[in-house]
């Protein structure tokens, strides 16, 4: 496609058009009936490697889609950044920049978008959805990420307004209150199937959890950074591992997905201790996060750590040391964990020194893994993405493990080699002997609601996992009720399976 665009541009002596410009023109011409829609690919004749093109779009639309990876996890991510607000933390490594939420800096894509829109949540979500559509992505299933500072420290009135505005943007209509915006989103064009917030472990208690459920949250990103009290104290974190353990248990018992933000290379730590820390996360049942963001400590001029580094009181890892550490971590990651990110989106020019300046750490790791002939087992590395082959057999896998005083059962549909993950479900038997589905997700190309295509979505995989879960709950644990922490936009799906809304959960008597 790039070669063809350059050839035409050269022939007619015009600037080379972007895919977005071409898509806009194509949609306008088809709407005005100046041209006919191009034909769809014949699914029967297409190879599995081309299967991600096969959806309701025409061949032209499929060829012009920008960064297909953005919708190859079965959803699209939309981030909204909160306004600048004081943070209770005084962390050594955390940057403070005037007019920007704590821990964020100018130059980060989400920050620049928010600044242009004056931190208006409605406009942030609306503009992001419009851009994704212009790039050719379906936007029916949205995972909304609310980022910026410590969410739980913001005034409740602001939180309520912020979340409602995000839902209003997806609904295309201003609601009277949050309850109405939730109700509209169940059948909206852009359905919020997951909502996450960022906070600190020491701000999580039962009252906060109840509030988060009222807002519609389904996942909590916690700034854990380290599980060692001496390291937390040295870096002025303001809480201990005890708060992380307590918050993890409370969140899991309430059905939330739990994401840990971890920070290797903190002041006072070393390579051996960092490697041991990531092993401890999955050996110790007090932790067991579902997802990880690994953010190697960055030296930023806006942080107190910068002055320590200048005085020679802090030493960063070398590039090879960090890459070897990350490889060691990835080799030991369990099948039921997803590594969301490696490294922050901080522009390299803002990082004073150290391997955190490397913006393509994940790509370097992937290249190294291929060269050394091994694979990471984390969920993100195994997602089927564009490699779906309808003729390939898939199998049901089950993993039971103890976590936070309860039992976790991880069910997944994968191919025999377990290098293609199609669908997963997390079931928790809580410390109070309640059964709750904390996550159900089908990967591969995002297929619009009510559509079908050559992809894992809408093939009945989710229904099969839920049916298997109901059988486990009823026969193995002799329980009569199963709850689901459903995203607002996914409630209709569970209603079709016999679940009813009770408080903020979808519940079924089995």
pLDDT level of residue 447 (50, 70, 90 thresholds): confident
Q: Which residues, 6+ apart, have CB-to-CB distance to 494 below 8 Å? A: 484, 486, 506
On the question of pLDDT at 271 being above 70, the answer is: yes
3 state SS of 99 = coil
Percent of the chain with pLDDT over 90: 75
Q: Which of 3-12, 25-34, 84-93 has the lowest mean pLDDT?
A: 3-12
Q: Mean pLDDT throughout 316-329?
A: 96
On the question of pLDDT at 13 being above 60, the answer is: no
Beta bridge partners of 397: 412
pLDDT at 357: 86
What span, in angstroms and rounded, lies between the C-alpha atoms of 281 and 38?
A: 51
**Residues 368-379: pLDDT tens digits?**
999 999 999 999
Q: Which of 84-93, 224-233, 398-407 has the lowest mean pLDDT?
A: 84-93
Given a contact cutoff of 8 angstroms between Cβ atoms, the answer to whether 246 and 203 are in contact is no
**Residues 19-73: pLDDT tens digits?**
555 555 555 666 666 766 555 544 444 444 334 444 444 555 555 556 666 778 8
3 state SS of 264 = coil
Is the model more confident about 255 or about 136?
255
Given a contact cutoff of 8 angstroms between Cβ atoms, the answer to whether 109 and 131 are in contact is no
pLDDT at 26: 56
**Residues 416-436: pLDDT tens digits?**
999 999 999 999 999 899 999
Other beta carbons within 10 Å of 367: 11
**Residues 480-498: pLDDT tens digits?**
999 999 999 999 999 999 9
Q: Which helix (H) or strand (E) holds 507?
A: strand 505-509
Other beta carbons within 10 Å of 135: 19
What span, in angstroms and rounded, lies between the C-alpha atoms of 314 and 307?
A: 9
Q: Which helix (H) or strand (E) holds 225?
A: strand 219-225
pLDDT at 60: 55
pLDDT at 71: 77
Winning range, highest mean pLDDT, from 107-111, 133-137, 206-210? 206-210
Supply angle C-alpha 337, 340, 346, rounded to 5.
150
Q: Mean pLDDT throughout 95-114?
A: 93
pLDDT at 53: 42
**Residues 159-207: pLDDT tens digits?**
999 999 999 999 999 999 999 999 999 999 999 999 999 999 999 999 9
What span, in angstroms and rounded, lies between the C-alpha atoms of 471 and 344?
A: 41
What domains are defined for the chain? 2-64 (no CATH), 74-199 (no CATH), 211-381 (3.30.750.200), 395-509 (3.40.630.30)
Q: What is the mean pLDDT of the chain?
A: 90
């Amino acid at each position: 496609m790039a070669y063809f665009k350059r050839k035409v541009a050269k022939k007619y002596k015009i600037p080379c058009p972007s895919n977005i410009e071409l898509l806009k023109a194509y949609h306008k011409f088809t709407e005005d009936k100046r041209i006919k829609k191009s034909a769809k690919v014949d699914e029967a004749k297409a190879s599995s490697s081309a299967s991600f093109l096969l959806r309701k779009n025409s061949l032209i639309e499929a060829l012009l889609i920008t960064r297909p990876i953005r919708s190859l996890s079965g959803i699209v991510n939309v981030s909204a950044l909160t306004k600048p607000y004081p943070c209770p933390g005084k962390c050594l490594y955390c940057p403070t920049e005037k007019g920007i939420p704590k821990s964020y800096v100018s130059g980060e894509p989400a920050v620049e978008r928010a600044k242009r829109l004056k931190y208006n949540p409605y406009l942030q979500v609306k503009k992001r959805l419009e851009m994704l559509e212009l790039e050719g992505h379906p936007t029916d299933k949205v995972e909304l990420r609310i980022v910026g500072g410590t969410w739980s420290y913001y005034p409740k009135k602001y939180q309520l307004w912020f979340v409602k505005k995000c839902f209003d943007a997806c609904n295309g209509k201003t609601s009277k209150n949050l309850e109405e915006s939730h109700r509209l989103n169940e059948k909206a064009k852009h359905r919020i199937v997951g909502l996450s917030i960022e906070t600190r472990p020491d701000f999580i208690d039962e009252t906060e959890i109840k509030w988060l459920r009222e807002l519609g949250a389904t996942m909590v990103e916690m700034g854990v950074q380290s599980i060692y009290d001496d390291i937390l104290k040295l870096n002025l974190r303001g809480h201990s591992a005890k708060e992380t353990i307590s918050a993890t248990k409370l969140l899991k018992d309430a059905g939330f997905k739990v994401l840990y933000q971890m920070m290797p290379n903190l002041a006072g730590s070393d390579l051996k201790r960092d490697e041991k820390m990531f092993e401890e996360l999955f050996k110790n049942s007090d932790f067991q996060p579902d997802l990880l963001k690994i953010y190697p400590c960055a030296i930023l001029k806006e942080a107190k750590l910068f002055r320590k580094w200048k005085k020679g009181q802090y030493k960063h890892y070398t590039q090879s040391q960090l890459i070897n550490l990350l490889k060691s971590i990835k080799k030991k990651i369990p099948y039921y964990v997803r590594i969301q990110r490696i490294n922050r989106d901080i522009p390299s020019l803002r990082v004073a020194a150290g391997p955190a300046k490397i913006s393509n750490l994940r790509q370097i790791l992937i290249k190294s893994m291929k060269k050394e002939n091994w694979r990471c087992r984390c969920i993100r590395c195994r997602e089927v993405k564009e490699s779906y082959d309808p003729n390939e057999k898939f199998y049901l896998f089950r993993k039971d493990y103890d976590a936070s005083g309860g039992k976790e059962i991880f069910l997944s549909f994968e191919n025999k080699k377990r290098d293609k993950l199609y669908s997963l479900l997390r079931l928790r038997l809580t410390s109070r002997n309640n059964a709750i589905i904390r996550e159900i997700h089908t990967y591969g190309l995002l297929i619009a609601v009510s559509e079908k295509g050559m992809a894992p979505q809408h093939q009945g995989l989710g229904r099969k996992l839920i049916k298997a879960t109901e059988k486990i709950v009823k026969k193995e644990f002799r329980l009569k009720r199963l709850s689901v922490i459903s995203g607002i936009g996914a409630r209709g799906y569970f209603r079709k399976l016999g679940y009813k809304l009770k408080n903020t959960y979808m519940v079924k008597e089995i």
